[in-house]
Amino acid sequence: MGRYLVQRNMLRIILITFVIMINVGCDQISKNLVRDRLHYYQKISLVKDYFTLTKVENTGAFLGLGSNFPPLIKKVIFSILPAAVLVIALFVLLSKLNLGFYAIFGLCFMIGGGVGNVIDRIRYESVTDFLHIDLGIVSTGIFNLADVSIMLGLALLTIQHFFPKANTISASTGSPEDS
């Protein structure tokens, strides 16, 4: 029985690592393509003007908040602090063996998206954003796939919060929890 639990936990760690790396990889590949092939503020319409690509470099947070902060403050707030939070989230994800399906995948997506944006901040001191949705009464700021991962992860965590018994499987036994 002990060997089975070790193998099951190893498989869990491999799956978590894989999902995080897929999120980071998709984000970084898409940003590299945009950096290499689009000019700043170039607008490419994908679905009329509803869904467009527009390359911008965001030196701040959401919608450029904090872009005028001094460099040291920006490094702490936008690189060091998020990296520390991501390490804590990864520790929680790997150490809590009874997280539900939605919580596991939600944290994987959030960590993957966060890592993608932190990589940009460390390498380029900005984050490459390029996706824009404009449906008339609903319009987004310009964002990237890391942001999509983070929002999808948040949605999955919200589902897990409101439906805590949904797809909760104990990692130690592999059976639905009785509590």
Count of Cβ atoms closer than 10 Å to residue 124 Cβ: 13
User: Annotated catalytic residue: which of 27, 36, 49, 129?
Assistant: 129
- Catalytic residue flag (residue 49): no
Please give the tally of structural domains in the chain.
Answer: 1
Is residue 175 situated within a structural domain? no
pLDDT tens digit string along 10-50?
999 999 999 999 999 999 999 999 999 999 999 999 999 89
177 in a structural domain? no
pTM: 0.87
Q: Which of 142, 138, 134 is nearest to 34 (CA)?
A: 142
Is 122 a domain residue?
Answer: yes
Contact criterion met (CB below 8 Å) for 106 and 160: yes
Please give the Cα distance from 161 to 164 (Å, whole number).
5
- Asked whether 157 and 102 are in contact (CB, 8 A), the reply is yes
147 has catalytic annotation: yes
Q: Is residue 18 part of a domain?
A: yes
Instruction: Determine if residue 46 is left, alpha or beta; phi over 0 gives left, psi from -120 to 50 gives alpha, anything else beta.
Output: alpha
37: its two tokens: 């092939």
Residue 71's domain comprises: 2-162
Average pLDDT over residues 96-110: 93
For residue 45, what pLDDT is reported?
93
Instruction: Let me know if residue 173 belongs to a domain.
Output: no
Q: Which residue has the higher pLDDT, 30 or 67?
A: 30
Residue 171 lies in a domain: no
Q: Among the options 120, 134, 147, 178, which is catalytic?
A: 147
In a domain, 167, yes or no: no
What is the DSSP secondary structure assignment for residue 86, as one 8-state letter? H
